[in-house]
Amino acid sequence: MLSIPYDIDPGGDIELVLNKPNNQKIVPALYFTQDVTDPDNTEFDDLELNNPPCAGRYSAFKELYPAGKTIVPPVDSEVRMSVSSRHLILASRAFKAMLEGPWSEATSSSQSVRQINASDWDAMAFAIVLDIIHGRHRGIPEDMTLGLVARIATIVDYYGFHEALYVYRKRWLSENAKVKASTDKLCDASLLCLYAAWVFSDKDIISSMARLTLLYSEGLAQTNTFDLPIGGILDNIEGQRQHLITESLHLLDDLQDQLLKETSCPMEQEAQCTTLTLGVLMRIRHGITSLSIPLEHPYDGYSLNSVLHTITDIEKPMALHSKSIKFRTSKWTKASRPCSIGGRLAERIESIQSEIWSFCMSSTLEKTPTEEK
């Protein structure tokens, strides 16, 4: 067995044994049926999903990262860390319960040193977290990849180290250029960024990543999160995605009902204007029902953005009169015919856009596990 010693507190009274290190798969997989990105957007560098090279005191873990990649090492490996129980107790409720509770998980491996077992965590991430709570800030990597930040976040989330590592949140997230690169499009890195921001309570990144996910996700069936504990956040966003797609499709239902009841258009009282608009709308709705993937609840395979574009791209028919009007949203900055399908729905589309903004700014997305207890 490969056994790696790592002394954080050489005189510590706890031996923390990390079994099967790096056995956690946190990089999610997203599957798309549509082109969700602007072709001018650059791809996120997958190397940023790995850890940076093991340097300084973290060179002790080099054998666990062949070729510098964050992959699963041999099963028969372990890392043995010497730490202080007092530091663990002060920094984490979970460790406090382990070490002081009636169901103490610590076992004695000698008269003075107790042993605690952990498993699967990334070795470098685990060492960084423990170094920080023991006050060993010098030597913490400056060049933090998104992958390493996310692996640290899973440990912080699980043990409740939020307060102890809070001071690093800006350095690792909002001030980290590599993390900002994940905000251009929805990809596996975006979900890592969303999760890390949620753990470290970075409101701005939470909002931007939630908006990206809400607009471009094609449903939970198209997402595999593996071991990344982001399910609760995604459930919340998915519920809103389904709600807003349903609301968007109801716009077409409501407009058809309105046109069936109209005897003439409200702008110029032209009966043929209403008839023409109704005919185009029914043809478009027939096209939607004939899609290869049914646009039905829960709308798997369709993003909210694609549904909204299907509606906002309807600029026909041209009305039989010359009246036009301007709307505030970017999609409607040019003059639109108020009797056309797009013109009739413009203000209600604005309302849906406002709902998107309000949801992504809501405080419910910012709660950490510690705040929810």
Rounded CA gap, 193 and 200, in Å?
A: 11
Indicate whether 368 belongs to any domain. no
Q: Are residue 12 and residue 112 in the same domain, yes or no?
A: yes
Give the chain's domain count: 2
Q: Are residue 264 and residue 190 in the same domain, yes or no?
A: no
DSSP secondary structure, 81-124, as one string: EEE-HHHHHHH-HHHHHHHHSTT---EESSSS-EEEEEESS-HH
Q: Are residue 303 and residue 204 in the same domain, yes or no?
A: no
57-66, 123-132, 265-274: the lowest-pLDDT one: 265-274
The answer to whether the Cα torsion of 279, 285, 246, 209 is positive or negative is negative
Indicate whether 231 belongs to any domain. no
Helix (H, G, I), strand (E, B) or coil at 39: coil
Burial class (CB in 10 A: 0-12, 13-18, 19+), 285: middle
Indicate whether 230 belongs to any domain. no
Q: Are residue 194 and residue 325 in the same domain, yes or no?
A: no
Q: Are residue 197 and residue 345 in the same domain, yes or no?
A: no
Q: Are residue 213 and residue 309 in the same domain, yes or no?
A: no
Indicate whether 68 belongs to any domain. yes
Confidence (pLDDT) at 334: 42
pTM of the predicted structure, to 2 decimals: 0.87
112-126, 154-168, 241-255, 330-344: the lowest-pLDDT one: 330-344
Q: Are residue 204 and residue 340 in the same domain, yes or no?
A: no
Average pLDDT over residues 346-370: 81
Q: Are residue 181 and residue 253 in the same domain, yes or no?
A: no
Q: Are residue 191 and residue 321 in the same domain, yes or no?
A: no
Q: Domain range holding 244?
A: 237-360
Indicate whether 138 belongs to any domain. yes
Q: Are residue 44 and residue 128 in the same domain, yes or no?
A: yes
Confidence (pLDDT) at 2: 93
Q: Are residue 125 and residue 179 in the same domain, yes or no?
A: yes
| Res. 46 pLDDT band, cuts 50 70 90 | confident
Rounded CA gap, 332 and 109, in Å?
A: 71
Burial class (CB in 10 A: 0-12, 13-18, 19+), 187: buried
